[in-house]
């Protein structure tokens, strides 16, 4: 049906239809991205009401970020501290999230269990994902405040007044941040993994069953290896999201308390963009976050992909 | 799905095993259901209790102070105005996001042009770049053009939403046959009219799902608005929550807990209600959008 004349005459419409998207992307995302990288090589900040710069300083901003004695580090490398904080809170939330999601995905897709009420359960577990992270954090702040419902329940069970200040403890505060992230994301992960499992050729499960494999063997020898590509995708997107962690720790701990132990990379960056308005330093931080994200994603990819090649070949 | 049940000849012991597994599965499902619903349940209950009741002890029963808490939350008009601002921004940006992403996906799917492949690959690559990375340049741009304290920088950029584009592209591939477009051409319809009056109605289910997602992500967005909005009357809901949080920390705010729960409730519950109404489409939509073939 297609003739060449038609294809040529309609080509311009392709460009017309994609123009708004690309125009807006270039103005509001690409130029800002490039200028962020550009400013990272300049002294460019607000002092009082005046703007200083941009004056070219080469790698000066990067040197400041890695100079332990510079004014912004003051004795400890902030970038390491905040990367560590961010990663600890991500891992604390992501590990239970993957375990729960994998278990739920297997339960939902199991031909043997044939779970009823699936739509209800899926609807419920996905719901926290749509809730405003800031509100979720505020809710947890109220529930876990030293006079909040959690301490009230403990008090009434033990009979003694219990006034533990969760947000003053590093471990408890980090755990609460991780819990909120876990609650917000496990439903989403479940649905992605389910889609992955349903994409697996059903005959492989049947073949395994005929060969006498039990449920555990099927799970570890068939499901997991074939699900690897989706799991890699889920892990990397979760990591990228985790490194952008901002709303929850910002609101819950009011900017990273106690003692900055819940302060994440983006809270730190935010302070330099919105607070002290030092675009040079903030630019250098953004570039570093960009590379940290890239490197960690690559590590996750390598780790998860290392032993997943063999079973795939069998599919032929 | 379509599986032949090899279980017809299953032994008694394996049937017992299956039943045990089923019982544990349901217990686990009930557990995660409680986990997901309990915080919201507690929020709603607590928003009906007075400050005195909340400080005195814990209760799972609602009380009668919903009205007075509501009045306090609406009191100075700050929250109501913020909700209006958020509604305006979220409605405008979700419509822009869905319409122009559909347009882009349609353009790349329907037409053959030299840069088609490049355009698609480009969008796939930028999908993975988080917005926070370019925040410095974005804020600089916004202030240079004196767009701070306006809603334009929160609305216009949503025209370029890579994830929405990807979802629409997937959907168009499966739901919009080229024959329909060619038939419209034969009937003399121009390209824009074909897109607006023939293609869009056919991909409406996908647009509805993405409209909800785009709306909630704009409604919930905190990072960008907080950087460019400083005027009190322009605040969005998350900024109000954040301001309230810092006020509590500095001891400045009234420590009325009923008020606090009510504010959080009003920020969350509209989204929850919309979600419950359309959840059937959403849960199915998540998987379609995120997993490639």
Task: Clarify whether residues B208 and B103 are in a common domain.
Answer: yes
Residue B215 has pLDDT above 80, yes or no: yes
Residue B293 covered by a domain: no
Residue B6 has pLDDT above 80, yes or no: no
Residue A97 covered by a domain: yes
Residue A258 belongs to domain with CATH number: 1.10.3720.10
Q: Enumerate residues 6+ apart whose C-beta is below 8 A from B13.
A: none
Residue A241 has pLDDT above 50, yes or no: yes
Residue A307 has a pLDDT of 55
Question: CA angle A241-A242-A248, nearest 5°?
Answer: 100
On the question of a cis peptide bond just before residue A54, with omega within 30 degrees of 0, the verdict is: yes
Q: How many structural domains comprise chain A?
A: 1
Q: Residue A285 to residues A79, A235, A265, A288, B31: CA-CA distances in angstroms? A: 8, 24, 9, 5, 41
The pair phi, psi for residue B236, each rounded to 5°, is -100, 175
CB spacing of A21 vs B101 below 8 angstroms? yes
The C-alpha atoms of residue A295 and residue A301 are separated, in whole angstroms, by 10
Task: Clarify whether residues B178 and B90 are in a common domain.
Answer: yes
pLDDT by residue (tens digit) across B237-249? Answer: 999 999 988 888 8
Which residues in chain A have Cβ-Cβ distances shorter than 8 Å to B223? 246-247, 266, 270
CB spacing of A15 vs B282 below 8 angstroms? no
Of A146, A198, A152, A175, give the one whose Cα is nearest residue A262: A175
Task: Clarify whether residues B32 and B139 are in a common domain.
Answer: no
The C-alpha atoms of residue B214 and residue B204 are separated, in whole angstroms, by 15
pLDDT by residue (tens digit) across A90-117? Answer: 999 999 999 999 999 999 988 888 899 8
Residue B214 covered by a domain: yes
Residue pair B155/B96 in contact by the 8 Å Cβ criterion: yes
Residue A142 lies in domain: 67-314
Residue A112 has a pLDDT of 82
Of A37, A169, A187, give the one whose Cα is nearest residue A101: A187
The C-alpha atoms of residue A251 and residue A297 are separated, in whole angstroms, by 27
The pair phi, psi for residue A102, each rounded to 5°, is -65, -45
The C-alpha atoms of residue B219 and residue B239 are separated, in whole angstroms, by 11
Query: Reduced to 3 states, what is the DSSP secondary structure of residue B95?
Result: helix
The C-alpha atoms of residue B90 and residue B82 are separated, in whole angstroms, by 12
Residue A34 covered by a domain: no
Task: Clarify whether residues B119 and B238 are in a common domain.
Answer: yes
Residue A165 covered by a domain: yes
Of A90, A255, A110, A116, give the one whose Cα is nearest residue A177: A90
Residue B54 has pLDDT above 90, yes or no: no
The rounded mean pLDDT for chain B is 87
User: B68-89: b or e for each residue (b if 16 or more CB lie within 10 Å)?
Assistant: ebbebbeeeebbebbbebbbeb
Q: How many structural domains comprise chain B?
A: 2
Q: Chain B: give the shortest CA distance to residue A228, in Å.
A: 13
Task: Clarify whether residues B40 and B139 are in a common domain.
Answer: no
Residue B190 covered by a domain: yes
- What is the average per-residue pLDDT within A133-138? 93
CB spacing of A28 vs B140 below 8 angstroms? no
- The half-sphere exposure of A149 on its side-chain side, counting CA atoms within 13 A, is 22
- For residue A54, the surrounding DSSP H or E stretch is strand A50-56
Q: Chain A: give the shortest CA distance to residue B104, in Å.
A: 5
Residue A200 has pLDDT above 90, yes or no: no
Residue B223 belongs to domain with CATH number: 1.10.3720.10
Residue B271 covered by a domain: no
CA dihedral in degrees (A242, A248, A254, A257; nearest 10)? -50
Residue B175 covered by a domain: yes
Q: Chain A: give the shortest CA distance to residue B225, in Å.
A: 11
Task: Clarify whether residues B179 and B215 are in a common domain.
Answer: yes
- What is the average per-residue pLDDT within B117-126? 91
Q: Enumerate residues 6+ apart whose C-beta is below 8 A from A71.
A: A64
> Any idea which residue has 């930028």 for tokens?
B126
pLDDT by residue (tens digit) across B75-116? Answer: 877 899 999 999 999 999 999 999 999 999 999 999 999 999
Of A285, A126, A41, A309, give the one whose Cα is nearest residue B283: A126
Residue A62 covered by a domain: no
Confidence of residue B288 (pLDDT cuts 50, 70, 90): low
Q: Chain B: give the shortest CA distance to residue A68, in Å.
A: 24
Give me the count of residues in chain B: 293
What percent of chain A shows pLDDT beyond 70?
A: 94
Q: What is the ipTM of this complex?
A: 0.87
Task: Clarify whether residues B53 and B82 are in a common domain.
Answer: no
Give the number of other Cβ atoms within 10 Å of residue A265's Cβ: 27
Alpha carbon of residue A210 to chain centroid? 40
Residue A146 covered by a domain: yes
Give the number of other Cβ atoms within 10 Å of residue A202's Cβ: 13
Residue A161 covered by a domain: yes
CB spacing of A112 vs B100 below 8 angstroms? no
The C-alpha atoms of residue A193 and residue A238 are separated, in whole angstroms, by 13
CB spacing of B36 vs A283 below 8 angstroms? no
Among A131, A195, A293, the strongest candidate for a mutation testing the B interface, having the largest count of B CBs within 10 A, is: A131
Residue B145 has pLDDT above 70, yes or no: yes
The C-alpha atoms of residue A108 and residue A151 are separated, in whole angstroms, by 36
Residue A56 covered by a domain: no
Query: Reduced to 3 states, what is the DSSP secondary structure of residue B129?
Result: coil
Residue B173 lies in domain: 77-253
The C-alpha atoms of residue B196 and residue B200 are separated, in whole angstroms, by 5
């Amino acid at each position: 049906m297609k003739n060449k004349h038609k294809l040529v005459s309609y080509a311009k419409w392709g460009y017309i239809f994609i123009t708004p998207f690309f125009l807006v992307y270039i103005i509001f995302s690409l130029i800002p991205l490039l200028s962020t990288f550009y400013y990272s090589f300049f002294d460019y900040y607000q002092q009082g009401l005046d703007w200083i710069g941009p004056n070219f300083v080469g790698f000066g901003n990067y040197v400041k970020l890695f100079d332990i004695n510079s004014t912004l580090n003051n004795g400890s490398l902030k970038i390491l501290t905040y990367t560590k904080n961010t990663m600890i809170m991500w891992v604390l939330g992501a590990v239970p999230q993957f375990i729960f999601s994998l278990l739920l995905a297997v339960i939902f897709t199991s031909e043997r269990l044939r779970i009823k009420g699936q739509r209800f359960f899926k609807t419920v577990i996905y719901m926290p994902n749509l809730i405003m992270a800031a509100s979720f954090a505020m809710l947890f702040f109220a529930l876990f405040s030293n006079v909040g419902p959690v301490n009230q329940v403990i008090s009434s069970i033990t009979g003694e007044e219990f006034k533990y200040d969760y947000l003053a403890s590093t471990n408890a505060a980090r755990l609460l941040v991780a819990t909120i992230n876990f609650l917000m994301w496990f439903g989403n992960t479940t649905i992605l993994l389910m889609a992955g499992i349903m994409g697996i050729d059903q005959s492989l499960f049947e073949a395994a069953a005929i060969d006498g494999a039990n449920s555990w063997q099927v799970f570890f020898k068939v499901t997991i290896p074939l699900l690897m590509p989706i799991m890699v995708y889920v892990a990397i997107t979760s990591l990228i999201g985790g490194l952008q962690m901002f709303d929850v720790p910002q609101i819950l701990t009011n900017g990273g308390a106690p003692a900055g132990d819940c302060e994440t990379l983006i809270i730190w960056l935010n302070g330099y963009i919105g607070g002290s308005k030092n675009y040079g330093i903030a630019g250098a931080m953004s570039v570093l976050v960009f590379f940290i994200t890239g490197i960690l994603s690559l590590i996750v990819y390598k780790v998860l992909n290392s032993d997943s090649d063999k079973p795939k070949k069998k599919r032929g | 799905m379509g599986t032949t049940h090899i279980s017809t000849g299953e032994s008694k012991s394996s049937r017992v095993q299956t039943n045990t597994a089923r019982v544990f599965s349901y217990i686990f499902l009930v557990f995660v259901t409680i986990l997901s619903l309990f915080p919201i349940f507690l929020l709603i209950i607590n928003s009906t209790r007075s400050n005195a009741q909340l400080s005195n002890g814990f209760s799972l029963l609602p009380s009668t102070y919903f009205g007075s808490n509501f009045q306090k939350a609406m009191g100075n008009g700050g929250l109501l105005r913020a909700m209006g601002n958020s509604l305006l921004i979220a409605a405008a940006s979700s419509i822009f996001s869905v319409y122009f992403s559909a347009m882009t996906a349609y353009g790349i799917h329907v037409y053959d042009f030299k840069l088609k492949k490049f355009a698609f690959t480009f969008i796939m690559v930028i999908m993975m770049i988080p917005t926070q990375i370019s925040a410095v340049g974005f804020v600089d741009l916004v202030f240079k053009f004196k767009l701070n304290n306006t809603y334009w920088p929160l609305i216009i950029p949503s025209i370029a939403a890579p994830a929405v584009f990807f979802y629409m592209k997937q959907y168009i591939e499966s739901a919009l046959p080229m024959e329909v477009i060619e038939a419209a051409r034969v009937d003399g319809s121009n390209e824009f009219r074909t897109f607006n009056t023939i293609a869009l109605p056919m991909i409406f289910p996908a647009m509805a799902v993405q409209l909800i997602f785009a709306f909630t992500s704009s409604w919930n967005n905190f990072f960008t608005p907080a950087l460019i909005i400083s005027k009190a009357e322009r605040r969005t809901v998350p900024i109000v929550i954040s301001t309230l949080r810092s006020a509590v920390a500095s001891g400045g705010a009234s420590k009325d807990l009923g008020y606090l729960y009510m504010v959080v409730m009003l920020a969350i519950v509209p989204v929850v209600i919309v979600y419950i109404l359309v959840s059937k489409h959403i849960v199915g939509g998540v998987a379609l959008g995120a997993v490639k073939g």
